[in-house]
Amino acid sequence: MERFKKGLGKTRLALKSKFNILFGSSELDQDFFDELEEILLSADVGVGATMKIVDSLREQLRLEKIKKRSAARELLKELLTGMLESDHQAVLSLAPSPPTVYLILGVNGVGKTTTIGKIAYRFIREGKKVLLAAGDTFRAAAIEQLEEWSRLTGADLVKHQSGGDPSAVIFDAMNAAVAREADLLICDTAGRLHTKANLLEEVKKIYRVMQKALPGAPHEVLLVLDATTGQNGLSQVKYFQETVPLTGLVLTKLDGTARGGIVVAIKDLTGVPLKLVGVGEKKEDLEVFQATEFVEALLV
Amino acid sequence: MLFGTLADKLQEVFRKLKGKGKLSEKDIDLALREIRLALLEADVNYKVVRDFVNTIRERALGAEVLKSLTPGQQVVKIVHEDLIELMGRKQSKLAPADHPPQAVMLVGLQGSGKTTTAAKLALFLKKGGHNPLLVAADVYRPAAIEQLEVLGKEAGIAVFSRGKDDPVNIGRLALKEAAREGNDYVILDTAGRLHIDAELMAELGNLKARLDPREILLVVDAMTGQDAVNAAGTFHEKLGLTGVILTKLDGDTRGGAALSVKAVTDRPIKFVGVGEKIEAFEPFHPDRMASRILGMGDVLSLIEKAQQVVDVEKSRTLEKKIREQALTLEDFLEQLQQIKQMGPLEDLLGMVPGFHQVGKQLKGLDLGEKQILKIEAVLSSMTLEERQRPGIINSSRKRRISAGSGTTVQDVNRLLKQFDQMKKLLKQANFMDKGRTRKPRGFFPFR
């Protein structure tokens, strides 16, 4: 969690001055709500979710007869945490008996391969045997990129030729995972824009193949989202969710100045929870998402 | 579709405004509120939106609107003008290679698409008669060098790489090689980095100092949200950008980042990436984009695309056939194949003026590629004679056609009926054209 906070630290600095104004000692007036709206909008929370947050905060403040800005702060934190928290407490699901299989999806350039390397490292550190499937057969040198991650983390790799059928690679990898008694198989896929119907069909096929190869698989279908993404993030989740049932999100590049506020709108509108956050380029730069800490770090 | 929803929203606002003979300050404030929300939802930075709305408000409350007989139209005109202003007035080209070899640096955040863009830009220059050299200066990301090498091979462009050497050294050696080999542009693919990473930003500063590039282009993901101003602002401050390349514009992003980046750096958007293929790369036209945002269509781009694939001789024949009302299914099939060459149908329709409204009226109309494939299959399963004389298609022929194309008799019937309707429509159009009885109901400029 330390690194996560460090990642958010830069954000925190930028926000500190603003929130001092917002949560200072002065009275609640229209300026307060305008400022709050601006802060949420500038964090990519989006117009819809921002209005909703501001309105419910206003309503609650009225009901509880709160007149001071400082007192409004705890309420806002509660509100945001409530919006982000998920009923599913277990972070990443595991198969009742190994191998556990994860499918990683996302648009181009969000950091899928890097995220896979980081997830692999987490499990290997716990003494688990991890296998990677080089399912991005489309992008130039994507297989080599995953190969480097397998060397870096000590995970095994199953690959085919570039340009091959991703479903076939993943099918082979699933058989290999059983044969080699791996604990976890993580399947990479090519980056694809959510508006390309034919590429979403390919995802459906991959999903079907996984279900057939091993009952109960995939145990997680994670959509990787770039923290710098704006309102389009919502569209990404919606389209992918219509294609295959997503089990969670991974928010990457949170070590920059972007705050990834779109996940608030995503959780609110689609219910898909954020599970992991990426906070750097190194293999250990992946943290489990926790709503309270996320909001806390945002509002310090 | 790019800017789709924004265009819809703005048009709704304009429609309301245009209906009024007189505008009060309240009317304008209401419209500006809608415009503000629409721009925010399109990811335009909130500060940029605030300035934009304030400018429009000032102008809208000025004499030019209130005295006008059509105040609503005036407001629309102001929004359109200011939008073009905000996006940059005219097309901005790459600086010429006066003193070759000339370095072009591509910089940006991780995952914005620098490596792919480098190859696309090189191919674009090669097609324009230049002799570019690609340089693999991303020594950090795993397999970035291999990626550029593969793309270079695909595009038939030389790639200079020196493993994981110091990027400044690689750049220096690349310029020497380019001088030897006679390359005019030297395109550097640098590593993706966060704008707040002081060490890596200093590395770019060194590259700039040693290579003296004429162009430093920031590669920006069109899906970027509010943070676009922070990243672009810092890159510009540290390096002095000369332009911007916007990537991944082929999705459904509303692309507000384009406006934000332009506003904060005051540097032109020079190119846009519009697909995964290496050819999917175009010069950026601000005026066309502004028209597209306002739902006025992008007819110029559409014509350009059509000119690339349409055979002039064939279109003359077709035009003649339409006039003589001798259009056959054979012509229809040919047209269909030409349209397919122009790219995804949805993108094309987005360029047609007024299509946003029309599209909503035609509910249930499936314009997907699948539908076209189906029509094409049905047409291809007909004999040449059947395509030329659809009248001879009886029920037995229909059964054969549907079996051959993997469709149903109903599908065949529907196609024949649609073709009939189309012929009738064309007949009417012909009539109108000849008689000039009515003004053509064009959508331009504001509907």
Query: How many other CB atoms sit within 10 Å of the CB of residue A116?
Result: 31
Q: Residues A38, A174: one domain?
A: no
Give the DSSP letter of residue A27: B
State residue A139 phi and psi, 5-degree precision: -70, 140
Q: Provide, rounded to the nearest whole percent, the portion of chain A with pLDDT above 90.
A: 67
Give A253's contacts in chain B (Cβ within 8 Å): 109-111, 194
Q: Residues A251, A111: one domain?
A: yes
Would you state the pLDDT for residue B75? 74
HEC sequence for B56-89: HHHHHHCHHHHCCCCHHHHHHHHHHHHHHHHHCC
d(Cα A8, Cα A257) in Å, to the nearest integer? 8
Interchain pair B109, A228: CB under 8 A: yes
Q: Which of B115, B271, B105, B241 is nearest to B185 (CA)?
A: B105
Q: Residues A182, A273: one domain?
A: yes
Interchain pair B225, A142: CB under 8 A: no
pLDDT in tens, B279-301: 999 998 877 666 655 555 555 56
Q: Residues A70, A162: one domain?
A: no
Q: Cα angle vertex B206, ends B202, B210, to 5°?
A: 170
Higher per-residue pLDDT: B285 or A60? A60
Interchain pair B221, A226: CB under 8 A: yes
Q: CB-side exposure of B8: number of CA atoms within 13 Å?
A: 14
Token pair belonging to B35: 């415009």
Would you state the pLDDT for residue A18? 54
d(Cα A136, Cα A144) in Å, to the nearest integer? 10
**What residues contact B378, with CB distance under 8 A and at least 6 apart?**
B401, B402, B405, B407, B411, B412, B415
Q: Residues A160, A192: one domain?
A: yes
Give the DSSP letter of residue A214: S
Q: What CATH number does residue A31 fall under?
A: 1.20.120.140
Of A10, A140, A228, the CB nearest to B147: A140
**To the nearest whole number, what is the mean pLDDT of chain B?**
80
Tell me how far CA of residue B275 lies from CA of B204, B279, B433, in angstroms.
28, 8, 39
- Does residue A252 form part of some domain? yes
Token pair belonging to A156: 């095994």
Q: Which CATH class is domain B300-435?
A: mainly alpha
Give B253's contacts in chain A (Cβ within 8 Å): 230, 232, 235
Would you state the pLDDT for residue A113? 95
DSSP code string of B200-256: HHHHHHHHHHHH--SEEEEEEETTB-TTHHHHHHHHHHHH---EEEEE-TTSS---H
Instruction: Using the 3D structure, point to which of A31, A60, A84 is the last residue of a domain.
Output: A84
Are the CB atoms for B171 and B210 separated by under 8 Å?
A: yes
pLDDT band per the 50, 70, 90 thresholds, residue B60: confident
DSSP code string of B268-325: -EEEEE-SSSTT-EEE--HHHHHHHHTT---HHHHHHHHHHH--HHHHHHHHHHHHTT
Token pair belonging to B129: 């008669």
Per CATH, the homologous superfamily of domain B4-87 is: SRP54, nucleotide-binding domain (1.20.120.140)
- Does residue A94 form part of some domain? no
Instruction: Using the 3D structure, point to which of A32, A54, A84 is the last residue of a domain.
Output: A84
| Helix, coil or strand: residue B42 | coil
- Does residue A93 form part of some domain? no
Q: Tell whether the model's pLDDT for residue B257 goes beyond 70.
A: yes
Interchain pair B143, A142: CB under 8 A: yes
pLDDT band per the 50, 70, 90 thresholds, residue B64: low
With residues binned 3-state (H G I as helix, E B as strand, rest as coil), the percentages for chain B, rounded to 5, are 60, 10, 30
Q: What CATH number does residue A156 fall under?
A: 3.40.50.300
Interchain pair B142, A41: CB under 8 A: no
Q: Cα angle vertex A186, ends A183, A187, to 5°?
A: 145
Q: Which of B126, B114, B442 is nearest to B279 (CA)?
A: B126
Q: Which of B245, B302, B300 is nearest to B273 (CA)?
A: B245
Give B228's contacts in chain A (Cβ within 8 Å): 228, 230
Is ipTM beyond 0.85?
yes
Looking at the DSSP bridge assignments, the partners of residue B162 are B164
Interchain pair A145, B254: CB under 8 A: no
- Does residue A201 form part of some domain? yes
Are the CB atoms for A41 and B40 separated by under 8 Å?
A: yes
| Helix, coil or strand: residue B376 | helix
Average pLDDT over residues B346-362: 51
The number of residues making up chain A comes to 300
Would you state the pLDDT for residue A270? 92
Strand order in the sheet with B133-137: B159-160, B133-137, B185-190, B102-107, B215-221, B243-247, B269-273, B281-283
Total domains present in chain A: 2
Q: Tell whether the model's pLDDT for residue B357 goes beyond 60.
A: no
Tell me how far CA of residue B153 lies from CA of B98, B119, B122, B148, in angstroms.
27, 10, 12, 8
**To the nearest whole number, what is the mean pLDDT of chain A?**
88
How many contiguous H segments (helices) and E segments (strands) does chain A have? 11, 8
H/E run at residue A213: helix A197-213
User: Which of these ranges, A88-92, B163-167, B255-259, has the smallest mean pLDDT?
Assistant: A88-92
- Does residue A213 form part of some domain? yes
pLDDT band per the 50, 70, 90 thresholds, residue A20: low
Would you state the pLDDT for residue B439? 39
Average pLDDT over residues B11-17: 72
Of A38, A109, A141, the CB nearest to B146: A141
pLDDT in tens, B19-57: 676 777 887 887 788 788 878 888 889 888 999 889 888
Looking at the DSSP bridge assignments, the partners of residue B107 are B218
- Name the minimum distance, in Å, from the CA of A47 to any CA of chain B: 6
Would you state the pLDDT for residue B98? 86
pLDDT band per the 50, 70, 90 thresholds, residue B74: confident
Question: Token pair 């514009």 is at which residue?
Answer: B249
Would you state the pLDDT for residue A22? 61
pLDDT band per the 50, 70, 90 thresholds, residue B347: low
Would you state the pLDDT for residue B83? 80
Among chain A residues, the shortest Cα distance to B222 is held by: A229
Would you state the pLDDT for residue A12? 44
Cis peptide before B101, with omega less than 30 degrees from 0? yes
DSSP code string of A133-188: E----SSTTHHHHHHHHHHHHT-EEE---TTS-HHHHHHHHHHHHHHTT-SEEEE-
Token pair belonging to B73: 């139209």
pTM exceeding the 0.90 threshold for the entire prediction? no
- Does residue A269 form part of some domain? yes
Are the CB atoms for B113 and A109 separated by under 8 Å?
A: yes
Question: Token pair 């304009």 is at which residue?
Answer: B14
Q: Residues A70, A204: one domain?
A: no
Q: Tell whether the model's pLDDT for residue B240 goes beyond 90.
A: yes
Would you state the pLDDT for residue A201? 93
Higher per-residue pLDDT: A39 or B4? A39
- Does residue A223 form part of some domain? yes
Domain ranges of chain B: 4-87, 102-285, 300-435
Of A111, A138, A235, the CB nearest to B111: A111
Q: Cα angle vertex B126, ends B125, B131, to 5°?
A: 100
Of A197, A231, A257, the CB nearest to B43: A231
Give the DSSP letter of residue B391: G
Domain with A57 in it: 2-84
Q: Provide, rounded to the nearest whole percent, the portion of chain B with pLDDT above 90.
A: 39
Q: Provide, rounded to the nearest whole percent, the portion of chain B with pLDDT above 70.
A: 74
Higher per-residue pLDDT: A186 or B391? A186
Radius of gyration over every alpha carbon of chain B, rounded to an integer in angstroms: 26
Among positive and negative, which fits the CA dihedral B219, A195, A279, B140? Answer: negative
Q: Residues A148, A232: one domain?
A: yes
Radius of gyration over every alpha carbon of chain A, rounded to an integer in angstroms: 21
Average pLDDT over residues B421-442: 55
Would you state the pLDDT for residue B34? 79
Interchain pair A257, B42: CB under 8 A: no
Of B41, B142, B194, the CB nearest to A145: B142
Average pLDDT over residues A243-261: 92
User: B276, B278, B345, B349: best mutation site toward chain A, by most A Cβ within 10 Å?
Assistant: B276
- Name the minimum distance, in Å, from the CA of A115 to any CA of chain B: 13
Instruction: Using the 3D structure, point to which of A58, A84, A110 is the last residue of a domain.
Output: A84
Q: Residues A141, A276: one domain?
A: yes
pLDDT in tens, B152-204: 999 999 999 999 999 999 999 999 999 999 999 999 999 999 999 999 999 99
Looking at the DSSP bridge assignments, the partners of residue A17 are none
pLDDT in tens, B366-385: 555 667 778 888 888 999 88
Give the DSSP letter of residue B94: P
- Does residue A64 form part of some domain? yes
Q: Quickly name the fold that domain B102-285 has.
A: Rossmann fold (3.40.50)
Of A108, A149, A231, the CB nearest to B225: A231
Tell me how far CA of residue B98 lies from CA of B93, B102, B125, B185, in angstroms.
14, 8, 15, 10
Are the CB atoms for B221 and B114 separated by under 8 Å?
A: no
Q: Tell whether the model's pLDDT for residue A74 goes beyond 90.
A: no
State residue B180 phi and psi, 5-degree precision: -65, -45
Q: Which of A78, A27, A82, A87 is nearest to A299 (CA)?
A: A78
